[in-house]
A and B are shown apart, each in its own frame.
Chain A
Amino acid sequence: MTLSSQGIKRILTGDSALPWLAPLLAMLVVFTIYPLIYNIWLSFHEYAPFRRRLEPVGTDNWQALFSDERFWDSLSVTFTYFGVVLIIQVVLGMAIALLLDSEQKGFGVLRALLTLTLVIPPAITGMMFLLIEDPEFGVLTWLLESLGILDGTQPILATGSTALMGVMLADIWQWTPFMVLIFLAGLRSLPPEPYEAAMLDGASSWQTFRRITLPLMGKVIAVAVLIRGIDLFRIFDYMFVMTSGGPGTSTYTLSLYAWQQTFSFIKWGYGATISLVSLILILVIANLFIWVARVRW
């Protein structure tokens, strides 16, 4: 054994968890606690363009939130997006997982193909759907128009009522397979006994799903909702490349609004304030959820 691993050995021989966790702690403190403190500090300051420096502004930024219509708009867009996409992804993900949970020939390939969507960078997915949903040349637009669903006068991404749906579509396409993977994992590890009993009782497949699968899968669903929910609440990439928040403010999320305040308008203090609001909200929601759904690690 080399000298350094001797050293490691000595430190790690004991039963203290600290040395094992030290690298993790160090990285998380530097990269998350520091930015957090910095952001809190920043939210009480604002960049003064003419004097080229940060100046304390007291609680101005926090007060400004209340009268900022666009903040409230983006808050409601964020919640709508979060709620709708999460529900669709869970329901659709479960349905597809049940469908693909079979040992039939060819299903392994199908499951593998489904994971393809996960490896596309969301920024590129956004561009891809931008092309697919293009009002003149897009294949989806063309399809919906030939089916008579769209009348050719309402560009999907430039109409207030449909733009958010257009963006959601990209997200749903990309991340539903992720849910499918998680649910498949859950389905694969369910005990067979309850199903055998249900079959003897002559239960219908809906009853079996409702009474056995769903309760057994509860924890898995909770984990999936938690992981995906956190990411959905911070959603940024799709709007950034597809709509830049438009038309009007109909696809502005909190992250995008914070980004814009920070990088486009150089209102660092206000941008930090919005980020903090977003962080507080997701912390509260996630912890409530963990508590209610009794997720344990």
Chain B
Amino acid sequence: MRDSDRKRYLAKIVDDYVRRRISRRQFLTTSAQLGLGAAALGTGMSRPFGGLFTPANADEMLQPSQEVLDWVADVSTPFRGTTLKLATESTPPSNAINSQLKPYFEEASGMTVEIEVLPLEQVLQKLTLDIASQLGTYDLYYIDQSWAAFTSRDVFDPREQLADKPDLAMPDWRVEDFLPALVDGIARYEDRLVGVPYDIPIFIMMYRKDIWEEMGFEAPTELEQYYQQAKAITDAMGPEMYGATGQMKSGHYSLECDWTAWLWGHGGSIFNSDGKFSGNDERGLEAMEYWRRLYQTMPPGVTGWTWDGQGQSIAQGVAASMMSWGEFFPYFDDPNATKVSGLMEAARCPAPKNPLRTVEDTGFGEIPGVGHQGGSSLAVSQNSKNPDAAWIFMQWATCHDTQVLITALGGGTGPTRTAVYDDPRILANRRVGPGTTRHLNVVRDTIAMDMGSEPDLPEWAELANDTIPVRLGKYFAGDYGSAKEAMDDIAQAADKIVSG
């Protein structure tokens, strides 16, 4: 059978099974006879860039646990026929749920789940409009960590939901099972939890092992060394190969993400303890100087790229390393889509140049750390007409079993639950190939030791998506005389926005 035919056939039997046209036993035997086991489940899955991948643990069924589905069916009885709406960025977990896992939930619960997949900026726009006018058009919010503050009053705190509705609580679903660093960094705003961590893209160091070996380098352990290595590669191999790359598109959130990593890595912070912008202090300018130098080792196109162009520059062998979102790693291992399958290696981010500031030195709960996290949480909207039904979906979407399937099917994205990292189904995928999980140990270490989190304040969405990246973009386009001038300008604008 050709690959596409396998996919076709698989689609049919999965569909039959979900629609109860065939029994579970029949489904399993048919797929086993065809050698379609768990591997095949993955083949129905569409991934960005058109790659299809096959999880390695072919002998084990990547099936939703019947126990979980039974619970869903049990508690959902009063809500059959309900329609739930969620707007989300197109991330690996959302893709896995929307493309593959959703039918199981819908079948068990009798509810309909409509997922609107949008680019990040548009999710923010939809969400703010919904909140501002308190419309309740969405039952669940996908909340990027940078929006936690202004959404906090409009979502349920999962701890309250657990306490208020014991009969709807999923057995063994506890907030404590999520990585504590993520709960703090993504979901906590003041004393409230803005949902639970749902997705964790985080900055890790990804580099070309072959090139590093060729140059006789060790994996970079501190920032200055990383710059030297990047520069040496660009000098030796440019312009065919550049040492580093970036996501530096003017006016785009990605530019702000890159900036914070270098800023924190030089002992700086976005705000000081008085709540004033401090990117223009001595440490901040040191970071800008480092960034300016590193920028010269990158392909000239970086100022036009978001994470898309950045990832492509690695995937197509134009750049040799990137300190960026770890969720790109499984994609790099896909031989159908990239030229670097098996050549990439993941490592923790280089150690900071100066000691990190502590949370006490910064403002608005900012947590300095080189490993910038861009996680998001999933929460039930207070404006929802069906908060209880949405709460059931939320528990299902974030429970252990679903998260394992998301990680295995969704191409090795970082799980937010501690135990998922050690699940045998995840460990089995640690091999070179699409959807690999061989970088997840680094992700886990980074979350535990290097994670940096942006400040939480209601104005942050505006600062991070506009004020800062627009002016940084102007700086790299040469519109400012110096980094100091640019940073002073940001400081002035940011303080004005924060003080209202």
- Complex A–B touching at CB under 8 A: yes
Q: Are B250 and A158 in contact (CB under 8 A)?
A: yes
The stretch of A23-31, A258-266, A283-291 in contact with B is: A258-266
| Given A136-B299, A157-B304, also A246-B132 (CB < 8 A) | no
* A-chain residues with CB within 8 Å of residue B129 when the two chains form the complex: 263, 266
* A-chain residues with CB within 8 Å of residue B318 when the two chains form the complex: 136
Say yes or no: is B312 at the interface (Cβ < 8 Å to chain A).
yes
Q: Are B300 and A160 in contact (CB under 8 A)?
A: no
| Given A245-B470, A264-B466, also A160-B477 (CB < 8 A) | yes
Q: Are B124 and A247 in contact (CB under 8 A)?
A: no
Shortest Cβ distance from residue B130 to the other chain A in the assembled complex, whole angstroms: 11
Contact of A158 among B125, B134, B249, B465 (CB under 8 A): B249
* A-chain residues with CB within 8 Å of residue B249 when the two chains form the complex: 158, 244, 246
Q: Mark B312-334, 1 if CB is under 8 A from A, else 0.
A: 11001010000000000000000
Q: Are A135 and B477 in contact (CB under 8 A)?
A: no
Contact of B299 among A49, A135, A250 (CB under 8 A): A135
Say yes or no: is A248 at the interface (Cβ < 8 Å to chain B).
yes
Q: Are A152 and B150 in contact (CB under 8 A)?
A: no
User: Among A157, A248, A249, which residue has the most Cβ atoms of chain B within 10 A?
Assistant: A248
* B-chain residues with CB within 8 Å of residue A56 when the two chains form the complex: none
Q: Are A264 and B304 in contact (CB under 8 A)?
A: no
Say yes or no: is A243 at the interface (Cβ < 8 Å to chain B).
yes
Query: Nearest B residue to A154 by beta-carbon distance?
Result: B300
How many chain A residues touch B (CB < 8 A): the figure is 29
Contact of A155 among B132, B150, B303 (CB under 8 A): B303
| Given A137-B316, A155-B301, also A248-B462 (CB < 8 A) | no
* A-chain residues with CB within 8 Å of residue B462 when the two chains form the complex: 264-265
Shortest Cβ distance from residue B467 to the other chain A in the assembled complex, whole angstroms: 10
Interface of B is mostly: helix
* A-chain residues with CB within 8 Å of residue B304 when the two chains form the complex: 134-135, 155-158
* A-chain residues with CB within 8 Å of residue B465 when the two chains form the complex: 264
Shortest Cβ distance from residue B278 to the other chain A in the assembled complex, whole angstroms: 23
| Given A136-B313, A152-B239, also A52-B301 (CB < 8 A) | no
User: Among A135, A152, A244, which residue has the most Cβ atoms of chain B within 10 A?
Assistant: A244
Q: Which A246-281 residues have C-beta < 8 A from chain B?
A: 246-250, 260, 263-266
How far is it, in angstroms, between the C-alpha of A129 and the C-alpha of B305 when the chains are bound? 14
Q: Are B466 and A260 in contact (CB under 8 A)?
A: yes
Say yes or no: is A236 at the interface (Cβ < 8 Å to chain B).
no
Contact of B251 among A135, A156, A248 (CB under 8 A): A248
Contact of A159 among B252, B309, B477 (CB under 8 A): B477
Say yes or no: is A47 at the interface (Cβ < 8 Å to chain B).
yes
* B-chain residues with CB within 8 Å of residue A4 when the two chains form the complex: none
Say yes or no: is B478 at the interface (Cβ < 8 Å to chain A).
yes
Say yes or no: is B265 at the interface (Cβ < 8 Å to chain A).
no
Contact of A247 among B128, B250, B313 (CB under 8 A): B250
* A-chain residues with CB within 8 Å of residue B12 when the two chains form the complex: none
* A-chain residues with CB within 8 Å of residue B132 when the two chains form the complex: 47, 49, 52, 266
Q: Are B477 and A247 in contact (CB under 8 A)?
A: yes
Q: Are B250 and A134 in contact (CB under 8 A)?
A: no
| Given A245-B470, A247-B473, A248-B479, also A49-B303 (CB < 8 A) | no
Say yes or no: is A204 at the interface (Cβ < 8 Å to chain B).
no
Say yes or no: is A16 at the interface (Cβ < 8 Å to chain B).
no
Q: Mark B476-490, 1 if CB is under 8 A from A, else 0.
A: 111100000000000
How far is it, in angstroms, between the C-alpha of A134 and the C-alpha of B248 when the chains are bound? 13
Say yes or no: is A153 at the interface (Cβ < 8 Å to chain B).
yes
How far is it, in angstroms, between the C-alpha of A264 and the C-alpha of B458 when the chains are bound? 13
Shortest Cβ distance from residue A181 to the other chain B in the assembled complex, whole angstroms: 33
How far is it, in angstroms, between the C-alpha of A246 and the C-alpha of B252 when the chains are bound? 8
How far is it, in angstroms, between the C-alpha of A193 and the C-alpha of B312 when the chains are bound? 61
Q: Are A160 and B301 in contact (CB under 8 A)?
A: no
Query: Nearest B residue to A156 by beta-carbon distance?
Result: B304
How far is it, in angstroms, between the C-alpha of A47 and the C-alpha of B300 when the chains are bound? 42
Query: Nearest B residue to A160 by beta-carbon distance?
Result: B477
Q: Are A158 and B470 in contact (CB under 8 A)?
A: no
Shortest Cβ distance from residue A47 to the other chain B in the assembled complex, whole angstroms: 6
* B-chain residues with CB within 8 Å of residue A248 when the two chains form the complex: 250-251, 470-471, 473-474, 477, 479
Shortest Cβ distance from residue B135 to the other chain A in the assembled complex, whole angstroms: 12
User: Among A137, A153, A155, which residue has the most Cβ atoms of chain B within 10 A?
Assistant: A155
How far is it, in angstroms, between the C-alpha of A1 and the C-alpha of B124 when the chains are bound? 55
18 examples of A-B residue contacts, CB within 8 angstroms:
A135-B299, A135-B301, A135-B305, A152-B300, A155-B300, A158-B476, A246-B250, A246-B473, A247-B473, A247-B474, A248-B250, A248-B470, A248-B473, A248-B479, A264-B121, A264-B128, A265-B462, A265-B466
Instruction: Point out residues on B near A: beta carbons under 8 Å.
Output: 121, 124-125, 128-129, 132, 134, 150, 239, 248-252, 299-305, 309, 312-313, 316, 318, 458, 461-462, 465-466, 469-471, 473-474, 476-479
Task: Using A158-B477, A264-B461 as known contacts, list a sample of 14 further A-B pairs with CB atoms less than 8 Å apart, ordered by residue number in A.
Answer: A47-B132, A49-B150, A135-B301, A155-B301, A157-B304, A158-B249, A158-B250, A243-B250, A246-B252, A246-B469, A247-B303, A248-B250, A248-B251, A265-B466
Name the 3 nearest CB pairs between A and B, nearest first: A135-B301, A246-B250, A247-B250
